[in-house]
Amino acid sequence: MSVTALLDGPGAEVLAAACAEYRPGKELQLVEKLRRRYDATLVTIAVTQAALRHRAVAKFGPDAERMYFTPDGLEQATRTTVSTHRAARVAATQIDTVVDLGCGIGGDLITMARAGLRVTGVERDPETAAVARANLAAFELPGEVLVGDAEATDVTPYDMVFADPARRADGRRVFDHNAYSPPWSFVTGLLERTACVKVAPGIPHDAIPEGVEAEWISDSGEVKEAALWSGALYGGTPRRATLLPGGASVADAPEADSGPVGKYIYEPDGAVVRAGLVTAVAATVDGWLLDPRIAYVTASTYVPTVLASAYEVLEELPYKEKALRSWVRTEGIGTLEIKKRGVDLDPAQLRKKLAPKGSTSATLIVTRIGRDAVAYSCRRVTTSFPVA
């Protein structure tokens, strides 16, 4: 018996009861309670589904309450903010039909169908395919889901191919693009036509084919993925960083000098760093790099920008444990944020050694300039930006 047993009849009733009473950490008690009224197997599946829906809120928001999940499908699914951005970019073109190879639970099918695209999903696992169909139906969205192998699918009838290769093996995350499934050779073949392929943020720049745009996407400051765009979806630039939820985008990397620390240090958003566009931040704030190999920008003045977090430099400190411990004690620091780039340092271990116990807050930035490690006492500059 699988998730599909919960779609209607007694299964739907059990699922509704499980979701209504679900509390994290109380699964066993809920199972025992519901088994007094319902079939034991259905109860187990329903409580598992309720737990998955609870976890899925972080990715899917309110939609999670109506969706169906498998553990692996939820793990690999794109969060709604990111898939909505992607669907909007596709819908802004002349593309009408999309085939999603390896559609999983159908998260991308939902957002693309909502954007007005005609969608077809292909999924190798029959149960996961059934879940994807159920998710489209839950929102009364058109589309079909076929059981089949991505590599054997004829994609010629479709305007665009979307693919999200599996990046897990034996339950572990795979970081090498050559270990994707379907294989990288299949991915590069797709990119010879109009396609979008979701890849891990660590994709090497030199692995990206010519004429393909790589877009690194962050959401609320956290890098989520990279997407490769080809054919009619190619944006005319090899690399782009997009910052959600506001949608700010940068694609140019102008020349930038390096020099001594100014009044402010800027830490570029992770998507900007992954895309190799750090100098765009320097241009935005009229600044320069602390070191040409390190992703920190510095400037004499404060310029608000969504591309980076800003820190006011209060003092340069010796990068020695004794000196830093004295600084923490003298300043009465109790809450210590430690940022680092270019140095072999575990912030959690250093924080433990410095033992902050006071009532004030501070940020310590540790980095490398040339061969030397340096540390700066800083104050985080907080700026609010409107959400698009």
- pLDDT the model gives residue 109: 98
Query: Is the omega angle on the peptide bond into residue 182 within 30 degrees of 0, that is, cis?
Result: yes
308-333 pLDDT, tens per residue?
Answer: 999 999 999 999 999 999 999 999 99
Tokens of residue 246, six digits: 């506001």
Q: Are residues 211 and 107 in the same domain?
A: yes
Sheet holding 333-341, edge to edge: 288-289, 297-299, 264-268, 308-317, 372-381, 360-369, 333-341
Q: Are residues 234 and 293 in the same domain?
A: no
Q: Are residues 95 and 232 in the same domain?
A: yes
As for how many domains the chain has, the answer is: 3
Residue 156 forms part of a structural domain = yes
- pLDDT the model gives residue 177: 83
Contact criterion met (CB below 8 Å) for 184 and 166: no
Q: Are residues 334 and 371 in the same domain?
A: yes
Query: What is the DSSP secondary structure assignment for residue 181, as one 8-state letter?
Result: B
Residue with tokens 């079939």: 39
Q: Are residues 291 and 354 in the same domain?
A: yes
Residue 256 forms part of a structural domain = no
- pLDDT the model gives residue 170: 55
Enclosing domain of residue 35: 3-58
Contact criterion met (CB below 8 Å) for 190 and 184: no
152-182 pLDDT, tens per residue?
Answer: 999 999 999 999 997 665 556 666 687 778 8
Q: Are residues 50 and 166 in the same domain?
A: no
Residue 197 forms part of a structural domain = yes
What span, in angstroms and rounded, lies between the C-alpha atoms of 300 and 200?
A: 36
Sorted by sequence, the CB contacts under 8 Å of residue 266 that are 6+ apart come out as: 281, 285, 287, 296, 297, 298, 299, 305, 308, 309, 310, 311
- pLDDT the model gives residue 388: 43
Q: Give the three-class secondary structure for 302.
A: coil
Q: Are residues 295 and 215 in the same domain?
A: no
- pLDDT the model gives residue 1: 60
- pLDDT the model gives residue 172: 61
- Its pTM stands at 0.91
Q: Which residues of the chain have pLDDT under 50?
A: 386-388
- pLDDT the model gives residue 254: 94
Sorted by sequence, the CB contacts under 8 Å of residue 336 that are 6+ apart come out as: 328, 351, 354, 356, 361, 362, 363, 364
- pLDDT the model gives residue 385: 52
